[in-house]
Amino acid sequence: MNDLTNPVEVLGIDAGGTMTDTFFVRRDGEFVVGKAQSDSDEANAVLESSKDALAHWGREIQDVYPEMVTCVFSGTAMLNRVVGRKGLRTGLIVSKGFEDFHRMGRALQCYLGYAFEDRLHLNTHRYDEPLVHIHDTRGVTERIDSKGVVVIPVRLHEARTAAEELIDQGVKAIAISLISSYLNGEHETAIRDVVLEVAKEKGVDLPVFASVDYYPVRKESHRTNTTILEAYAAEPSRKILGQLSDRMKAEGATFDLRVMATHGGTIGWKAKELARSLVSGPIGGVIGAKYLGEQLGYENIACSDIGGTSFDMALITQGNYSIHKDSDMARLVLSLPMVAMDTIGAGAGSFVRIDPYSLSIKLGPDSAGYRVGTCWPEGGLDTVSVTDCHIILGYLNPDNFLGGILDLDVPRAFQCVKDQIADPLGLTVEDAAAGVIELLDLSLRQHLRAMITSKGYSPRDFVCFSYGGGGPVHAYGYTKGLGFKETIVPAWAAGFSAFGCATADFEYRYDKSVDVGINDESSEEDIEVACLKLQSAWDELKVKVLEEFAINGFDESAVTLSPGYSMQYMGQLNDLEIESPVANISGKEDWPALVQAFDDTYARVYADAARSPELGFGITGAILRGSVETSKPNIPKEPMSGPTPPEAAVLGKRKFYDNRVWVEADLFHMESLLPGNNIVGPAVIESDATTFVVPTGFATNLDEHRLFHLVETG
C-alpha cells in the first residue's frame, strides 16, 4: 500500500564484508534499519536487507522503490579486491626505463597501515605484491621534462608493440602513466589512442586508462597506483553496480544509484573516476555528522566512530571537514582527495592478550570480527576479545546480542578471561575484565585528545558525536574528563554511516596540479600569467566535471560549480585548500582576492601571527567541485514528553559492574523511549543494533531529534 503523504524518500546502503545494512528514511524523518548477510551477489544482499528493513513498516520493496528519490551505496568490495589482490588483470605502460618503479613501490608502502610499534620495527616492514606484474608492464621511449617540454618525442610504434603484446598475454585493461604527464599530456593521449586502435583491430573490448584523463597530478607513484586501481579494482565494481541498478529498476526504482566517494561527495555509479569510492563507510559518518551539525547548529564537531576493528576520528571545524590530498589506502599511496581521518586499530572486538614478560594487557591489533569472541563457541575462537569482557561485566545482554541471533556462552567467556587474563595478573575476573575496558577507553581517549590538541584546538570548543556499533557502549569512557561541550549519541548510531552517505551531496571533484609562485620580485606580468594558468586549469577541469554529470543526465544549467585552489607560503611544506572567492579569473586584478582568502584561512587554521606573506605565495593545485541538488533525509522531530521514561520502555534491571562494584542497572528499550526522557546512571539502554551504557556519574536525555545527550553528573 502506498502512503503518498509520507513516502520513503532516501535509502543508504552499507555493504560490509559480513553484513549489508540498509537505512530507509521517510519524508518525516522516521527511519528503519535492515540487515542481511552479505552475499557474493551484492544485489541480492541489498534486496534482502531492504526487505528486512521495510518489514518494520509492513511494506514491500515493489511499493517503496518507486516512491524513492535518492539511493547511495557504500561498500567494501572494492577495497577487499585490492587487499586480496583479486582485481582485474591490468597491463601498465610507462616511460621506458621506469618499468620497475611500480613494483618497487614507495618506501613508506612497506609500513603503511601498521601499528606504531611495527612501523619502528624494521623486520616487520614488507612490500605487498604489486598490482600489475612486471611481465604485464611495458616501457615506451619518450620523455617530458619537469617543465612540461618534450625532450624525446614519443615512439608510437613501441606503444603499438606494447599494446599488441599485452593484449595477446591476456590483460583485461591497460593503464598508462608516464613521467611528468600531468604537465603535458600529449604523449599519454597519443599512446592511449594507439592502444585503443590496437584493441579495435584485435576485436577486443578493452578499457584504457591514461592517468592524464583521470588524475593529472604530480607524484608518479600516487598517480600510477590510482590510475591502475581505476582498471584493477573499479572496473569490476562498475559491472556489479550496474547489476544492482538493473535489479532495482526491475523492482520499479526510478532513482539513480550513487556511490559515496572519498572526497565526501557522492558520484554516479557510471562515473569515470569510480576508484574514488574505494573507501566510503567511515567517511559516511563524517558527512552525516556535518549534516546533522548544519541542521542543528553545531559548528565544531569531533566525530568518533567505533566499530569492531577500528576507531575512526575526524574533526569538523566551523562546519567543514578537511581534505587530505595524498591519501593512502590498502597500503598504497594514492592521489585521491580524501576526508581527513585518523584511525587506530582498536575496537570493540579487539583481541586481548597478556604480555608474559611485562604482565601487561595488550589490545589488538587484530580483532575477532564476525567471530565475536570466546563467548560464541561456534565462532571457533579461543582468544579473549573485548566483547567477552563486556558480556561478563553486564554491559551487553548475552540473550539479545545482535538482536538475539547468536547464542552466547557466558560461563565459557568467564573461564577464558580467568585463564588468560585474570589468573596471570592475580586479579578477579571482574577486575581483569574491567581493566581491559578501562585500558581501551584510556587509549581511545588519549588518541581523541591528541587528535584535537595536535591541531591546536581544545575539546572545550567541540561537541563529540559518538556512533558506530560500539560508540554508545564506549562513549562515556572515551569522553570522560576531556571536557567536551557535549557528547551526543544518535539513536541510530549503528546505521549512522549509511545515514551519512544518504546526506552527501551529488558532487564530483576534479584536481589538477599547478605550479605558480609569486613574491615581491614578481612583475605584474608574472601575476597575470599565474592567474591565467589557474583559470585555464579550471577550464580543463570544468570539461571533466560536466562530462561526468552529462553521463547521469544533468546538463550544465543544473550544475553548481565551485572552483578552489591549494595555496601555500613559498618555502613552506603544507598547502591549504581554499574555496575561490571569485568564480572566474579574468586577470591580475583578481590576484589580491585569492591571496586574501588564503591569508584569512591560514590565520583561522593556525594563528594570525603565523601568517608569512613576506615569503610570497605559491599555488600548487586547481580544484573544481560541481554539484547538483539532491533530496536528503530529514532529521526526525518528535513531540516532547516528560522526563520519566514510559512504562513500555522499562525492561527491568541487570547486574552491571560499575567502578569496581556490582550494581543493579536500570534497563531500557531504546526505541520505546520518548523525547524528553531523562535517565540517570547506572543504566543500560538496549536496541537490536547497539547498546548505550550510562554508568554511575552520568545521565542522558533524549531530545526531539532522537539524539541522546550524555552528561557527566559528577
Partner 1 sequence: MTTYTKKQVNDLVAGTLDWDSVHKMLSMPKDAGRYALYMEVLQDAVTYDDKILLAVGPHLNIVESATDGEIIVKCNCGHDFGDYRENWKLGANIYVRDTAEKMDQVYPRLMSPDTTWQVYREYSCPSCGTMLDIEAPTPWYPVMHDFQPDLKTFFEWVELPAPAKI
User: DSSP strand E in 340-482: where?
Assistant: 342-344, 350-355, 360-367, 463-467
**How large is the greatest C-alpha to C-alpha distance in the chain, in angstroms?**
81
The binder of partner 1 chosen from 100, 145, 294, 366 (CB under 8 A): 366
Task: Identify which of residues 129 and 525 has a Cβ nearer to partner 1 in the complex.
Answer: 129
Span from 112-120, 246-254, 309-317, 486-494 in contact with partner 1 (CB under 8 A): 112-120
Q: Which among 187-195, 246-254, 352-360, 510-518 is the span making contact with partner 1, rule CB under 8 A?
A: 352-360
- Which is it for strands 31-37 and 19-26: parallel, antiparallel or unpaired? antiparallel
Toward partner 1, which CB reaches closer, 126 or 249?
126
> Which is nearer to partner 1, 189 or 383 (by Cβ)?
383
Q: Which stretch binds partner 1 (CB under 8 A): 29-37, 260-268, 349-357, 499-507?
A: 349-357
Instruction: Report how far residue 6's alpha carbon sits from residue 28's, in angstroms, rounded to the nearest whole number.
Output: 7
Residues numbered 115 to 134 that lie near partner 1 (CB under 8 A) are 115, 117-118, 121, 123-124, 126
Residue 438 binds partner 1 (CB under 8 A)? no
Among 106, 155, 238, 353, interactor with partner 1 by CB under 8 A = 353
> How many CB atoms sit inside 10 A of residue 688's CB?
17
Enumerate residues 170-199 that contact partner 1 by CB under 8 A: none
Q: Which stretch binds partner 1 (CB under 8 A): 155-163, 351-359, 633-641, 667-675?
A: 351-359
* Number of other CB atoms surrounding residue 250 within 10 Å: 12
Give the integer Cα–Cα distance in Å for 526 and 372: 63
# binding residues, partner 1 (CB under 8 A)? 18
Q: Which is nearer to partner 1, 30 or 419 (CB)?
A: 419
Nearest by Cα to 252 from 47, 48, 38, 57 = 47
The interface region with partner 1, picked from 4-12, 114-122, 288-296, 575-583 by CB under 8 A, is 114-122
Which of 47, 344 has the CB closer to partner 1? 344
Task: Pick the piece of the chain touching partner 1 (CB under 8 A) from 53-61, 356-364, 454-462, 644-652.
Answer: 356-364
Q: Shortest distance, CB of residue 348 to partner 1, whole angstroms?
A: 21
What's the CA gap between 196 and 203, in Å, rounded?
10
Shortest distance (Å) from residue 305 CB to partner 1: 25
Distance CA 700, CA 347 (A): 23
Give pairs for 549-555: CB < 8 Å, separation 24+: 549/508, 549/626, 549/628, 551/268, 551/270, 551/271, 551/272, 552/256, 552/268, 552/270, 553/256, 554/628
Q: What's the CA gap between 402 and 375, in Å, rounded?
A: 13
3-state SS assignment for residue 417: helix
Task: Assess 356 for contact with partner 1 (CB under 8 A).
Answer: yes
Minimum distance of partner 1 from residue 353's CB (angstroms): 6
Nearer to partner 1, 124 or 428 (CB): 124
Distances (CA, A) of 124 to 114, 171, 309: 9, 33, 21
Comparison of 115 and 711: residue with beta carbon closer to partner 1: 115
Measure Cα distances from 50 to 27, 35, 121, 152, 356 in Å. 17, 8, 46, 57, 48
- The nearer residue to partner 1, 343 or 383, going by C-beta atoms, is 383
Nearer to partner 1, 115 or 529 (CB): 115
Residue type, 47: L
Contact window for partner 1 (CB under 8 A) among 30-38, 253-261, 359-367, 584-592: 359-367
Cβ proximity to partner 1, 6 vs 124, nearer residue: 124
Nearer to partner 1, 274 or 416 (CB): 416
Cβ 118 to partner 1 shortest distance, Å: 6
Is the sign of the CA dihedral 449, 454, 456, 462 positive or negative? negative
Helix (H, G, I), strand (E, B) or coil at 480: coil
Q: What sign has the CA pseudo-torsion 170, 91, 228, 105?
A: positive
357 lines the binding site for partner 1 (CB under 8 A): yes
Q: Interface mask (CB under 8 A) for partner 1, residues 371-390, using x and -?
A: ------------x-------
Could you say which of 22, 177, 277, 420 contacts partner 1 (CB under 8 A)?
420
Q: Which single residue is written with the C-alpha cell 549512522?
A: 496
Region 127-166 residues binding partner 1, contact defined as CB under 8 A: none
**Distance in angstroms (rounded) separating the CA atoms of residues 568 and 554:** 35
Q: Could you tell me the smallest distance in angstroms from the CB atom of residue 358 to partner 1?
A: 8
Q: Give the interface segment with partner 1, choosing from 255-263, 358-366, 527-535, 638-646 (CB under 8 A).
A: 358-366
Cα end-to-end distance, the chain, whole Å: 51
Residue 354 near partner 1 by CB under 8 A: yes
Identify any residues that bridge with 344 across adjacent strands, giving them in sequence order. Answer: 311
Angle at 283 between CA 282 and CA 288, to 5 degrees: 105
Q: Which three cell numbers stand for residue 96?
A: 621506458
Q: Which amino acid is at 663?
A: V
Tell whether residue 365 is a contact of partner 1 (CB under 8 A): yes
Task: Tell me which of 355, 547, 608, 664 binds partner 1, using CB under 8 A.
Answer: 355
Binding status of residue 362 toward partner 1 by CB under 8 A: yes
**Residue with Cβ nearer partner 1 (140 or 368):** 368
Question: In the complex with partner 1, which residue's Cβ is closer, 117 or 555?
Answer: 117
Binding site for partner 1 (CB under 8 A): 115, 117-118, 121, 123-124, 126, 353-358, 362, 365-366, 383, 420
